[in-house]
Structure 1
Amino acid sequence: MKGLCTGLAAAAVFMATGCQASEPPTQVVYRFDDHRYLELKGWDCEGELWYTDTKQGVHSQIASQFYRIFTKKFVHPSERYIAIPWWGNITGGFSVSKDYGQTWETGGASMSPGENEPDGSNAPYYDDVLSFTVVNDQGFLQTKHRLYMSSKPFDDPRILPGGSGITYTASDGAVHHIKPTSSGPAWGLDYITKQGLKEDTAQFKTNYQGLPDKVPEVKGYTGWDHMRCDMGVGR
């Protein structure tokens, strides 16, 4: 009986230490600057994703599981508007915060419906993506064929609650009216190309007008230009 008890005690110690050893490791996978970064908690570079801003005292969860790092060029000096892409899932859009990372939009940002791609599809293929840049509270996804971008960082006051709505004349001469309650996604939650914008009523909103033809130049950026992850961490 004494030998059995000793064996059970040893097994209990092994199980306890084993549980401690199986705690998923955490590693920094992206740095925006010296006080803002992303952490991934999980095995084999997949798991929870957290955003931290040590100056603002922000520590918020972006993904509770299944996050895998974006492998393309990623430059992100923007602080108020934060957009985080997922590996292989550009068609699903981005995780987005519009309040310095304190909260994250349910559903995030998505690609605008329409023929954004040369083949008629509305979203790019991951292998065609070249870079994602977020600057001045606006996101720019550059692909081999197109430049996708979010709107300027404000909503047209005419489509806000209590606004007048937007009246416009279509190419066939018909007059239409966009009501504030049916005006589409808020700023920063819709990515579109200039080709797709020509066929979208968003073109009549002030925050979609005067958009650039190329990704704005970023100067003095001190953050990483790619996400990084060590597959063997914690082993």
Structure 2
Amino acid sequence: MMMLAILSTLIGGVLFIIMLIKQYRERWQMVSYLFFILGILALSPVNNIRKPIIVPPSQIVYRFDENRYILLTGYRCEGQAYFIDDKEQVYYLLAAHSWDLYTEPYRHPAKNYLSIPLSDVSAIYTSIDGGRSFRSIHLGVGHYLGNHDSPQYDVVNDQAFILGKDGQLYASEAPFGTKGWSMLSKKDQLEQKAILGRSQIIPESIPPIPSDYTGWDKMRCDYNAKGTKLPDNHTVLEVYQHLLGTAK
């Protein structure tokens, strides 16, 4: 079809010039000119001018259960993060950009209470209404857990528990939000007898995970996930070229 388009262009152009010089009827001049224009359009590279629209990949990086999950949109496992509950129609933007995964063991059977850490546990997004709203809490003053410093993060009985590799156990308040904005430390409780006036007792170990828990035990992500090319609405010229088989 490419050769046919080239021949149509050449023949149409030559005929148009001949008929114009010899002053053939205007009708035949228009026919030859039409052949020439159609050939030019068939060979036009205009469809290469537009760049394809590619959107970043979106992938579920953690499932609490069959209805609730964290959705990450971005390249190389970093980008926008959403908490989504399909059953309750809850969609909450956790981070507009630069959110990356917490890579240590993480189990979350709790329902209405949600505790979602940043990768270095510098902040913990916490909700008590099933993800309709969140606020950020932190470890206590003087405490820090960097990447790979937490062998276990479990959210059980509407309470978050973090076990550090040094054996330090942290727990969120129960009920949440009654006293302060930081996690409670077992070490501080033993040393101070009370923490900032809070008398809550932190257990010796993390409570067991319910046997019917169906969520994931770790966040996961495909680092090499590719973007998606959106379907293109072709122009009339592109449709014409595709029909002729001359589109590039």
TM-score scaled to structure 2, two decimals?
Answer: 0.68
The equivalent of 1:117 in structure 2 is: none
Partner of 1:80: 112
The one-letter amino acid of 1:204's match is G
Per the alignment, residue 143 of structure 1 pairs with: 164
8 Å Cα contact 2:113-2:127 kept in structure 1: yes
Larger radius of gyration, structure 1 or 2? 2
In the aligned structure 2, how far is the partner of 1:79 from the partner of 1:141? 18
Counterparts of 2:107 and 2:126, CA distance in 1:
15
Of the three residues 48, 52, 55, the one matched with 2:87 is 55
Amino acid at match of 2:132: Q
User: Aligned partners of 1:50 and 1:200: how far apart in 2?
Assistant: 39
- Give the direction of change, closer, same or farther, for the CA distance of 1:155–1:58 in structure 2 (3 Å limit): closer
Which residue is 1:212 aligned to?
203
Gaps of 5+ in 1: 115-121, 157-183
Where do 5+ consecutive residues of structure 2 fail to align?
1-39, 228-248
Partner AA of 1:126 in structure 2: N
How many angstroms apart in 1 are the aligned matches of 2:125 and 2:203? 23
Identity %: 30
**Residue deviations 1:33-62 (CA, integer Å, cap 9, x gap):** 111111100011110011111111101111
Specify the code of the residue in structure 2 equivalent to 1:144: K
One-letter amino acid of the structure 2 residue matched with residue 112 of structure 1 = G
Is the Cα contact below 8 Å between 1:46 and 1:68 reproduced in 2?
Answer: yes
Asked if 1:11 corresponds to 2:44, the answer is no
> For the structure 1 residues 134 and 209, does the alpha-carbon distance in structure 2 shift closer, same or farther, using more than 3 Å as the test?
same
What is the aligned partner in structure 1 of residue 76 from structure 2? 44
Alignment size in residue pairs? 185
Instruction: Compute the displacement of 1:203 (Å).
Output: 5.3
Distance 2:141 2:59 in 1: 36
For residues 74-116 of structure 1, the C-alpha deviation after alignment (integer angstroms, 9 at most, x for no partner) is: 00011222111122x22x12122221101121xx1111114xx
1:152 aligned to 153, 157, 174, which one?
174
Q: What residue number does 1:202 align with?
A: 195
TM-score (structure 1 length as normaliser): 0.71
* Residues 1:131 and 2:158 aligned together: no
Match of 2:215 in 1: 223
Query: Which protein has the bigger helix share?
Result: 2
The verdict on how the C-alpha distance between 1:196 and 1:56 changes in structure 2, with shifts beyond 3 A counting, is: same
Equivalent residue for 1:160? none
Q: Which amino acid aligns with 1:98?
A: I
Secondary structure, aligned partner of 1:216: coil
Offset at residue 201 of structure 1 (A): 5.8
Question: For the residues of structure 2 that align with 1:155 and 1:230, how far apart are their CA atoms?
Answer: 35
CA-based RMSD of the aligned residues comes to: 2.3
Post-superposition CA distance 1:154-194 (Å, at most 9, x none): 455xxxxxxxxxxxxxxxxxxxxxxxxxxx62xxx411212
Give the conservation status (yes or no) of the 8 Å contact 1:203–1:209.
Answer: no
Amino acid corresponding to residue 90 of structure 2 in structure 1? V
SS in 1 for 2:141: coil
Per-residue deviation at 1:204? 3.0
How far is the alpha carbon of 1:73 from its aligned partner?
A: 0.4
